[in-house]
């Protein structure tokens, strides 16, 4: 991790100099390069949180979700999204989906960010009948361009990833995808690609849009 004793001269931002802000800019670049280390550490910390009642810890859930995405042939945007989708559980348990979405928003397709931001509501479709939440809450978004992707993300990669017998890929194996995604220039239209609908890959060779329309999700 980058450490340095070199600091700016000011104690309030409106008294900073151009040289001060150039120093901060120089320090920010290596800090961003360390993003994968910070996200891996945050996920590993989830192994030691309170018992959630699930048969696996939250870190293993993240690894299962991301491994399923990878094995389905997903691109780095989806793999990173699956890995980080619950990273906000500890700090924002009531809106963890929105926290995770803001982490990835500058670096991935708009479609992927939207899915992560709404996956909590879409998960209710699977658990709602048993836990007292509305299983049809997602219907308010029916017709949205990203609806099918969110439904498939939860059905294929999220809601089934609590299996203690599933063999996930290692945390370190996801470093290349994390490095690729967080090395991108922030909010670059080349990567954010607003309004583009790609959906998820299908292991069967069909598109998940087709599966969703046929009622599978």
Output the CA torsion sign for 150, 47, 108, 206. negative
Is a pLDDT exceeding 60 seen at residue 204? no
- pLDDT on residue 4: 61
- pLDDT on residue 1: 53
Return the closest-CA partner of residue 85 out of 50, 108, 113, 111.
113
139-193 per-position pLDDT tens digit: 999 999 999 999 999 999 999 999 999 999 999 999 999 999 999 999 999 999 9
Residue 77: pLDDT band with limits 50, 70, 90: very high
C-alpha span between 92 and 94 (Å, rounded): 6
DSSP 100: H
- pLDDT on residue 208: 47
C-alpha span between 187 and 183 (Å, rounded): 12
Report whether 178 contacts 80 (CB < 8 A). Answer: yes
Percent of the chain exceeding pLDDT 90 equals 81
- pLDDT on residue 200: 97
- pLDDT on residue 177: 98
Query: Using N-to-C axis directions, what is the helix angle for 35-45 and 175-182, rounded to 10°?
Result: 130
Taking the domains of the chain in order of start, what are their residue ranges? 14-213
96-114 per-position pLDDT tens digit: 999 999 999 999 999 999 9
Residue 217: pLDDT band with limits 50, 70, 90: low
Q: Which CATH number fits domain 14-213: 1.10.3210.10, 3.30.470.20, 3.30.70.360, 3.40.50.1820?
A: 1.10.3210.10
C-alpha span between 148 and 142 (Å, rounded): 9
- pLDDT on residue 216: 53
**What tokens were used for 105?**
């928003």
C-alpha span between 171 and 133 (Å, rounded): 32
CB crowding 68-107: b at 16 or more within 10 Å, else e: bbbebebbbbbbbbbbbbbbbbeeeeeebbebbbebbbbb
- pLDDT on residue 210: 46
pTM > 0.85:
yes
C-alpha span between 217 and 215 (Å, rounded): 5
């Amino acid at each position: 991790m980058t450490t340095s004793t070199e600091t700016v001269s000011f104690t309030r931002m409106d008294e900073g100099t151009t040289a001060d802000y150039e120093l901060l800019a120089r320090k920010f670049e290596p800090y961003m390069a360390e993003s994968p280390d910070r996200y891996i550490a945050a996920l590993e910390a989830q192994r030691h949180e309170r018992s959630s009642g699930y048969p696996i810890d939250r870190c293993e859930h993240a690894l299962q979700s991301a491994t399923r995405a990878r094995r389905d042939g997903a691109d780095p945007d989806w793999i990173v999204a699956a890995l980080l989708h619950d990273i906000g559980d500890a700090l924002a348990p009531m809106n963890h989906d929105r926290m995770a979405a803001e982490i990835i928003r500058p670096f991935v397709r708009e479609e992927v960010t939207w899915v992560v931001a709404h996956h909590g509501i879409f998960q209710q479709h699977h658990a709602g009948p048993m836990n007292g939440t509305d299983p049809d809450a997602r219907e308010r978004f029916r017709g949205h361009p990203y609806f099918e992707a969110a439904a498939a993300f939860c059905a294929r990669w999220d809601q089934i990833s609590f299996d203690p017998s599933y063999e996930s890929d290692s945390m370190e194996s996801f470093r290349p995808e994390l490095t690729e995604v967080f090395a991108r220039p922030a909010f670059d239209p080349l990567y954010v690609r607003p309004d583009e609908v790609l959906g998820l890959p299908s292991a069967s060779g069909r598109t998940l849009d087709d599966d969703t329309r046929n009622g599978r999700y």
